[in-house]
Amino acid sequence: MSTERANNPRLACPHCGSFARIRKSESMTPIYRKAVLECQNADCGWRGTLALEITQTLSPSLNPNPAIQLPISPRVRKQLLAELAPETS
Ligand SMILES: [Zn+2]
């Protein structure tokens, strides 16, 4: 079970598995972010880029931004539709 804080994701270097730190990140759009990832193992030294993309809505916003069009996860969509139109038999 992971107890890591959501705003501080721990990322591993793909080569040596050591902790890799986000050096800088740049918001490209409200749902897409690019970052530079740097391995903290001095014996490795790998650096690379990382993309963070928000991909789905799991719980709709009560204050939605009309410019943001995210797909609703299929499971949640099914739940919402069931709540809106309960099956009558
Ligand atoms: Zn490494």
Residue 8 Cα to ligand 1 midpoint, Å, equals 19
Residue 53 Cα to ligand 1 midpoint, Å, equals 23
Q: How far apart are the first and last CA of the chain?
A: 42
Compare 6 and 66 and report the one with higher pLDDT: 66
CA count, 13 A, side-chain hemisphere, 29:
10
Angle at 48 between CA 42 and CA 51, to 5 degrees: 135
Residue 21 Cα to ligand 1 midpoint, Å, equals 10
User: Taking the CB of residue 64, how many other CB atoms lie within 10 A of it?
Assistant: 11
**SS3 call for 77:** helix
- Read off the pLDDT of residues 5-64 as tens digits, 9 standing for 90 and up: 455 567 999 999 999 999 999 999 999 999 999 999 999 999 999 999 999 999 889 999
